[in-house]
Chains A and B, each alone.
Chain A
């Protein structure tokens, strides 16, 4: 167990390093000169431009820029946003709770809908209920989030006036208002996750229900409910848990379009604004933070996998 954790952590460091090189290099391919954007009105003055470039080390070789940035990151310093003049770490930490709240709510909706519906559609395979559930899931996968978001705003905010159409209130300031502002984007994101989880749960359940151990469970006289939910589902969940963690990671990486439509100030909005402003330190910081989240989640996925799959445990 300890050896496994050490080995996994050993894999994390090179992954993050390679990723940081990639992000740094890719930014250089983006058109546009940050110095020009930062100079604003004075962009015609070569002296101002030279001063900005020297301040931001943009006149140094790329490798030096990268190592300089990496050195500071290793000391916990992600630098300053060129545009907003705030520490990148502070920006990330201020957006993270927003995205985390939205991601968690979406994930709860996704799991609460996707897993039970997947089980039911497997149990009712090839019956009308199965067709209905599959049809709805297909709709959920194919429907673009921005379209569903706009439709929900039209119905619940414009027509019925039940929910605010946009904006965000932090959970600790006003929990009710906070839920009211996030429930629609969470539902939009959650239905997408639910559709994916439903289809995978259904496939895993169908395969589990055909196993010999399910016949054994019936042969020993267990109620069908127990056969389905204990014996089959326990095994079917093993692949679904892994998939679920990946989906949660995707939610945490920020939902660019959904956050844009509902004007939620989360990760997605932060990174889009940073890219448009050529705010390199922010882009680098956000991408690195996202990568760290993903790597951590995949570690959690592995641990969960070991917890529910006895064959993975060493004795």
Chain B
């Protein structure tokens, strides 16, 4: 039963929020899997559902959220109680804002030691020693001194390293990194991502990397899931996706991504706005913004279908080359 090659399997995930304005369908029909030691990047614009998807896996959504579908961690289906037990032990998460994600009232070392003691019956002294060892592992210089410092005494990059140390404290099978470098300087970004890669190789942790930065995806992920307006748009191995994107939204994103190796006069952008998720359009959600849309696109939800081995897209016109030639 648990002899699965997957660290994380998400099947047909749906997330709705009940609000004063009505029911918001934030995520619908999302499925993906991640193998140990591999990185899946989930890409999309703000509001596409990538962050709520990761929070739903962790069980950290607000009480007004309803989550459907199944989530399996190393083959074990997770219910609410299972998520609570697995949090911090079998799955861990680091967040976008290292400046505010640490508690200002406790030292960095205490906060990491607390994560260890929450799951393992070790003494405070032993937990603190392990926290210092973890600090060394995430390349925090003068680990013992830093462990005694408060978050306000640490830089943003240092705080994110503390968050990573905390996440790795109990050797999780899954690490979710929600835009871990968005708030950091470019040079610090590169260091943090390199550190995550290295730790992933050493520990065999599966990584889900939430980002809107395609440059990060290209260098650090093996698999990519592109999301648009709460649904899956396209999924493929990273190399394949960058080489032959099939969904018009992905093509637009790649056109809009700034590239360091290419001089551009200005950034390309996708015209139009994301649909209202309180009243989503009946057809393809990207159709109103899509340069390739035809009448059939508005008729119904496009099926998320395989194009070639591991490459799938939710577009009735894919593969586009064939469609445009016809």
On A, residues with C-beta under 8 Å from B are: 211-213, 215-223, 226, 231, 234-235, 308-311, 315
| Residues in B33-75 with C-beta less than 8 Å from chain A | 58, 60
Do A220 and B152 have beta carbons less than 8 Å apart?
no
Q: How far is the CA of A311 from the CA of B105 in the complex (A)?
A: 8
Chain B residues whose CB sits within 8 angstroms of the CB of A219 once the complex forms = 58, 60, 87-88, 92-93, 95
Smallest distance from the beta carbon of B302 to chain A beta carbons, Å?
35
Contact with B87, one of A212, A220, A315 (Cβ below 8 angstroms): A220
Interface size in chain B (residues, C-beta < 8 A): 32
Do A311 and B163 have beta carbons less than 8 Å apart?
no
Smallest distance from the beta carbon of B313 to chain A beta carbons, Å?
32
Given contacts A308-B105, A315-B153, contact A220 B115 (CB under 8 A): yes
Do B88 and A235 have beta carbons less than 8 Å apart?
no
Q: How far is the CA of A221 from the CA of B90 in the complex (A)?
A: 10
Smallest distance from the beta carbon of B276 to chain A beta carbons, Å?
26
Chain A residues whose CB sits within 8 angstroms of the CB of B153 once the complex forms = 315
| Residues in B93-120 with C-beta less than 8 Å from chain A | 93, 95, 97, 100-107, 114-115, 118-119
Do B104 and A311 have beta carbons less than 8 Å apart?
yes
Q: How far is the CA of A215 from the CA of B95 in the complex (A)?
A: 9
Given contacts A212-B95, A222-B88, A310-B150, contact A217 B103 (CB under 8 A): yes
Give A224's nearest chain B residue, CB to CB. B84
Smallest distance from the beta carbon of A293 to chain B beta carbons, Å?
29
Given contacts A221-B115, A311-B152, contact A213 B102 (CB under 8 A): yes
Give B88's nearest chain A residue, CB to CB. A221
Smallest distance from the beta carbon of B125 to chain A beta carbons, Å?
19
Q: How far is the CA of A213 from the CA of B163 in the complex (A)?
A: 11
Chain A residues whose CB sits within 8 angstroms of the CB of B149 once the complex forms = 315
Smallest distance from the beta carbon of B75 to chain A beta carbons, Å?
20
B89 at the interface (CB under 8 A from A): yes
Chain A residues whose CB sits within 8 angstroms of the CB of B150 once the complex forms = 310-311
Given contacts A311-B152, A315-B153, contact A218 B101 (CB under 8 A): no
Do A220 and B166 have beta carbons less than 8 Å apart?
yes
Q: How far is the CA of A93 from the CA of B149 in the complex (A)?
A: 45
Give A231's nearest chain B residue, CB to CB. B103
Q: How far is the CA of A315 from the CA of B84 in the complex (A)?
A: 38
What would be 30 A-B contacts, judged by CB atoms less than 8 Å apart? A211-B100, A212-B97, A212-B100, A213-B104, A215-B101, A216-B95, A216-B101, A216-B103, A219-B88, A219-B95, A220-B118, A221-B84, A221-B85, A221-B87, A221-B89, A221-B119, A222-B88, A222-B114, A222-B118, A223-B118, A231-B105, A234-B106, A235-B103, A235-B105, A308-B105, A310-B104, A310-B105, A310-B107, A310-B152, A311-B150
